[in-house]
Amino acid sequence: MIVSALLTSVGINLGLCILFFTLFSILRKQPGNVRVYAPRLFAEGKHQTGNHFNLDRLLPSAGWVKRAWDTSEDDLLASTGLDAVVFMRIFIFSLRVFCVAGAIGVFVLLPVNFLGHELDFSTIPNESLDLFSISNIKNGSKRLWIHFCAAYFLTGAVCYFLYFEYKYISSKRLAYFYSLKPQPHNFTILVRGIPVAAGSSFSESVESFFMEYHSSTYLSHSVVRQTSKLRGLINDAENMSRRLIRLKSRPKNQQKNLRNGFLGIFGQNVNIVDHYEKKFEDLQANVRIEQSDASSLGEEVGAAFVCFKSRYGAAISSSIQQSVNPTQWVTEQAPEPHDVYWPFFSIRFMHRWISKFVVFVASVFLTIIFVIPVLFVQGLTNLEQLETIFPYLKGLLTITFVSQVVTGYLPSLVLHLFLSVVPPIMKFFSTMQGYISHSEIEKSACSKMLLFTIWNVFFANVLTGSISSQIEIFVEPKNIPSTLAVAVPAQASFFIAYVVTSGWTSLSSELTRTMSLIGDFIGRHCLRCMNSEFHAPSIPYHSDIPKILFFQLLGITYFILAPLILPFLLVYFSLGYIIYRNQLLNIYVPKFETGGKFWPIVHNSTIFSLILMHAIAIGIFGLKKLPLASSLIVPLPVLTLLFNEYCRKRFLPIFRAYSAEALIKKDRENQNDPTMPEFYNRLVTAYHDPALMPIEYSSNSDEHTSPLLSSARV
Kindly list the residues in this chain that would bind a second copy in the complex (CB under 8 A). 174, 213, 315-317, 319-327, 353, 475-477, 642, 649-654, 657, 659-662, 664
Minimum CB–partner distance for residue 326 and a second copy (Å): 4
Minimum CB–partner distance for residue 606 and a second copy (Å): 20
Minimum CB–partner distance for residue 661 and a second copy (Å): 5
- Distance, in Å, from the CA atom of 232 to the CA atom of 226, rounded to the nearest integer, reads 12
Please report the DSSP string for 381-395 in residue order.
Answer: TSHHHHHHH-GGGHH
Taking alpha carbons only, the member of 80, 164, 20, 71 closest to residue 578 is 71
Minimum CB–partner distance for residue 354 and a second copy (Å): 10
Minimum CB–partner distance for residue 201 and a second copy (Å): 20
- Distance, in Å, from the CA atom of 569 to the CA atom of 374, rounded to the nearest integer, reads 24
Minimum CB–partner distance for residue 625 and a second copy (Å): 25
Neighbours of 340 (CB within 10 A): 25
Neighbours of 344 (CB within 10 A): 20
Q: Which is nearer to a second copy, 65 or 347 (CB)?
A: 347
Residue 714 CA, chain-centre distance (Å), reads: 25
Q: With contact defined as beta carbons under 8 Å apart, do 439 and 597 qualify? A: yes
Minimum CB–partner distance for residue 210 and a second copy (Å): 11
Amino acid symbol at 527: L
Minimum CB–partner distance for residue 444 and a second copy (Å): 19
| Per-residue burial over 642-676, b = 16 or more CB atoms within 10 Å of its CB, e = otherwise | ebbeebeeebeebbeebeeebbeebbeeeeeeeee
- Distance, in Å, from the CA atom of 573 to the CA atom of 504, rounded to the nearest integer, reads 9
Long-range contacts of 373-376 (CB under 8 A, 24+ apart): 373/418, 374/414, 374/415, 374/418, 374/456, 374/460, 375/460, 375/464
Q: Which is nearer to a second copy, 299 or 645 (CB)?
A: 645
- Distance, in Å, from the CA atom of 87 to the CA atom of 101, rounded to the nearest integer, reads 21
Long-range contacts of 288-294 (CB under 8 A, 24+ apart): 290/229, 290/230, 290/233, 291/230, 291/691, 291/692, 291/694, 294/225, 294/226, 294/227, 294/230, 294/691, 294/692
| β-strand pairing of 300-308 with 188-192 | antiparallel
Q: Which is nearer to a second copy, 42 or 651 (CB)?
A: 651
Q: Which is nearer to a second copy, 325 or 675 (CB)?
A: 325
Q: Which is nearer to a second copy, 119 or 664 (CB)?
A: 664
Q: With contact defined as beta carbons under 8 Å apart, do 308 and 667 qualify? A: no
Minimum CB–partner distance for residue 600 and a second copy (Å): 13
Name the strand (E) or helix (H) holding 397.
helix 394-397
Q: Which is nearer to a second copy, 237 or 330 (CB)?
A: 330
Minimum CB–partner distance for residue 329 and a second copy (Å): 8
Q: Which is nearer to a second copy, 331 or 346 (CB)?
A: 331
Minimum CB–partner distance for residue 83 and a second copy (Å): 21
What are the backbone dihedrals phi and psi of residue 200, each rounded to the nearest 5 degrees, phi first? Answer: -125, 165
Q: Which is nearer to a second copy, 68 or 159 (CB)?
A: 159
Minimum CB–partner distance for residue 317 and a second copy (Å): 8
Q: With contact defined as beta carbons under 8 Å apart, do 132 and 114 qualify? A: yes
Phi-psi region of 37 (alpha: psi -120 to 50; beta: other; left: phi over 0): alpha
Contacts of residue 198, Cβ cutoff 8 Å, sequence gap at least 6: none
Put the strands of the sheet holding 218-225 in their side by side order. Answer: 218-225, 300-308, 188-192, 330-333
Q: Which is nearer to a second copy, 228 or 325 (CB)?
A: 325
Q: Which is nearer to a second copy, 252 or 649 (CB)?
A: 649
Q: How many residues does the chain have?
A: 714
Amino acid symbol at 366: L
Minimum CB–partner distance for residue 74 and a second copy (Å): 21
Phi-psi region of 52 (alpha: psi -120 to 50; beta: other; left: phi over 0): beta
- Distance, in Å, from the CA atom of 71 to the CA atom of 59, rounded to the nearest integer, reads 24
Burial of 279 (0-12, 13-18, 19+ CB in 10 A): middle
Taking alpha carbons only, the member of 126, 102, 115, 141 closest to residue 4 is 126
Q: Which is nearer to a second copy, 311 or 338 (CB)?
A: 311
Minimum CB–partner distance for residue 663 and a second copy (Å): 8
Minimum CB–partner distance for residue 476 and a second copy (Å): 6
Minimum CB–partner distance for residue 472 and a second copy (Å): 9
Name the strand (E) or helix (H) holding 246.
helix 228-249
Q: With contact defined as beta carbons under 8 Å apart, do 496 and 6 qualify? A: yes
Q: Which is nearer to a second copy, 43 or 652 (CB)?
A: 652
Q: Name 2's bridge partners.
A: 128
Q: Which is nearer to a second copy, 477 or 677 (CB)?
A: 477
Q: Which is nearer to a second copy, 657 or 714 (CB)?
A: 657
Q: Which is nearer to a second copy, 205 or 506 (CB)?
A: 205
Q: Which is nearer to a second copy, 72 or 215 (CB)?
A: 215
| β-strand pairing of 330-333 with 218-225 | unpaired
